[in-house]
Amino acid sequence: MATPETTTRSAPFLQCVQLLSPEGYLVRATGQVDDGVMRNCISKRRWEQYGHCLSPLEPSKIRICIANNQQIKLIGRWQGTVRVGNVSASSWSEVFESNGAFDVILGKPWLEQVDAVHRYRTDTLEITG
């Protein structure tokens, strides 16, 4: 089904994200919420700045394929609590070099945890948590 071209542009869902350690430390980051991303992600830069405040990374031999089909080796995987607004969920995130593209991406795993609904017509995200 063809749809007419529109002149409006979709903006990313940018949110203030909080990563919480088991000890109660809080790391703030700007997060992109993207239901097209199959994993939650943390940039290497953000991890190097604040990872010492969070629980240690789990080792990972996984390589992920990013949008340009480049395969990237992970630095590790972080398991912890992610909070956006008043909604929190325990989740895992892959840590890798993003070359400044993002700090944090909350993808399908986190969105499923919080039972999010993306309203495409209004380009809004509902999280009732």
Note whether residue 4 is domain-resident. no
pLDDT at 101: 92
Note whether residue 3 is domain-resident. no
Count of domains observed in the chain: 1
Note whether residue 54 is domain-resident. yes
Tokens of 66: 């990013």
Note whether residue 5 is domain-resident. no
pLDDT digits (tens, 9 = 90+) for 44-90: 999 999 999 999 999 998 888 888 888 999 999 999 999 999 999 99
* Whole-prediction pTM: 0.86
Note whether residue 65 is domain-resident. yes
Residue 126 CA: distances (Å) to CA of 10, 63, 90, 119: 16, 31, 18, 8
CATH number, residue 63: 2.40.70.10
Q: What is the DSSP letter of 51?
A: G
> CB atoms < 10 A from the CB of 27, how many?
21
pLDDT digits (tens, 9 = 90+) for 8-54: 555 668 999 999 998 889 999 999 999 999 999 999 999 999 999 99
Which is nearest to 34 in space by CA: 59, 65, 67? Answer: 67
Domain of 37, in residue numbers: 13-126
Tokens of 3: 């749809």
Give the separation between CA 117 and CA 128, rounded to whole angstroms.
9
